[in-house]
Chains A and B, each alone.
Chain A
């Protein structure tokens, strides 16, 4: 059975489809609302225009996956968060972010990101009890100074995809940075582990990461009280 039981096919259907996702992803609306039943990865693949071979898991589904699916445990988690950064252009922010090895400075759960080549990178994140989870990510599509969309490839401990978008705000209001993510754990480690990995509330984790990105870019430092005295 294919993984695409609950979502529409991952492959782009037409050029019109790509345009539709493009306007959703670059527009002012809430992206997740526009996606509805469609998987984010599917939409991003459509946006990429089908020019890229998708490396993701599409093989045989095991019993565990089938059970999880039937029980509704394979629901992927979707998050959308936006911040505004006033004193930086989309170009500056894109450049900092595009060097993925910078990301652990403000994404607390990341241990490291290693760039393998122009489109592929290896990610290691902290997991409970001193463990870690790893995955390779591939850039699906990219618009310089504007958009980076990625997906994890086959063999990921946590299947994830998403995009980050840098867009000028209204006059004098700087740059709006939006992250939209979707992730799904292997059926074996559902629920609690995922919650621990990405915080009790995934929205909160992404929101905090983005807020730290804003602090770093806007104020030049991440506000902290770690290491201060108390009675």
Chain B
């Protein structure tokens, strides 16, 4: 089959590799019909995710048709059309039973690596480094899906791939970020980053009852989409001081909740941005947490800072004094996708949300390297790339 393989920073190649096989009795093989490039794939593309090996198949947002099932798969059958959640979860452990699917105890064969770095291992993820299990990803013609009865959701007829594909990651991720804000009537939510996750966080904050949503970015077409798709007010951080603008737009209180939909490769401004860039370049700091810092300072007292953007390592100069003395709550984590699949599919069916509207590019799988290039550099007004195997 053809698959997108990582070979080093800025080096994604479409290669012919062996087809995947069933390895455990609860596995299924899915023939992929749509697969997307995620913002977190850009961290891999840029070489910021440790424990990638040359030849690793990437991709964790995919859907398709079940073509083979292991002998212990009961719920899925050949021919079913499914969306596959990006975390791999066993369905039996304490965390799966507690609806904390991305913290599954039993899916990561390389748990020891994660334990060394994080103390404990979170769930394995498709196509996201050996630290997270080393599972072959879904930017390919076929993928092996472990615990096939647990994760994948069957898609009813009448919905297109484009409408449901993002149930695999970014829609639940944006939604969980908003849910973590514990939105109450009258709340104003600020969202940093108007990429796909930020846009879904904005949309979800509105669905969950936010009075107003303020979106922060610097790319005109993304800000425009935040306005038109999400109904947000906007701040272009290259034009105004974000902190001051947020204060003025919220009666001096600050946003009740702040969502960081950017993560570890934030574009910092001025001296602070330069500091992080240099430190990250020489690997003294693994992540550039400009947005997280800004959110802490901007957030109203007693508010929530919700992280949807990915962090992987160690962060410098986090204003803990501000966070502590303002009594902030931090909420974060990889998305518990399985928890949100049903409710969000329902919202899509009801027409409350149409995830397909953020797609700007459909490309054949063979053009994946071009897809990475335009998505990373925001060329051709690129917001979201869907690949067709």
Contacts and interface: CB of A to CB of B under 8 A. Distances in A.
Interface of A: 84, 86-87, 173-174, 204, 207-208, 211, 214-215, 218-231
Contacts of A222: 24, 109
Given A208-B112, A223-B106, A224-B23, A229 B94 contact: no
Interface in B23-64: 23-26, 53-57
A231 B112 contact: no
B18 A219 contact: no
Contacts, number: 92
B15 A231 contact: yes
A201 to B, nearest CB: 9
A211 B109 CA distance: 9
B135 A218 contact: no
A229 B19 contact: yes
Nearest to B24: A221
B112 A224 contact: no
Given A225-B135, A230-B56, A220 B94 contact: no
Interface centre among B5, B24, B91, B94 (most CB of A within 10 A): B94
Contacts of B53: 230
Interface in B254-306: none
A225 B18 contact: no
Contacts of A87: 92
B106 A219 contact: yes
B133 A84 contact: no
Interface string B1-35: 10101010000010101111101111000000000
11 contacts: A214-B106, A215-B106, A223-B124, A224-B24, A228-B136, A228-B144, A229-B17, A229-B18, A229-B57, A230-B5, A230-B53
A218 B112 contact: no
- Is chain A's interface secondary structure helix, strand, loop, or mixed overall? loop
Interface residues of B, number: 44
Contacts of A214: 105-106
Contacts of A230: 5, 17, 53, 55-57, 136
A79 to B, nearest CB: 14
B106 A218 contact: yes
B219 to A, nearest CB: 32
A221 B26 contact: yes
A223 B97 CA distance: 18
A7 B326 CA distance: 56
Nearest to B136: A228
Interface centre among A220, A227, A230 (most CB of B within 10 A): A230
A225 B26 contact: no
Interface string B58-102: 000000000000001000000000000000101111100100000
B94 A86 contact: yes
Contacts of A225: 23, 109, 133-136
B109 A84 contact: no
Nearest to B53: A230
A182 B1 CA distance: 49
A65 to B, nearest CB: 34
B5 A223 contact: no
Contacts of A228: 20-21, 23, 135-136, 144
A214 B92 CA distance: 11
B111 interface: yes
Interface in B205-257: none
Given A86-B92, A223-B107, 10 more contacts: A211-B112, A218-B90, A221-B25, A224-B23, A225-B23, A226-B23, A228-B23, A229-B17, A231-B3, A231-B7
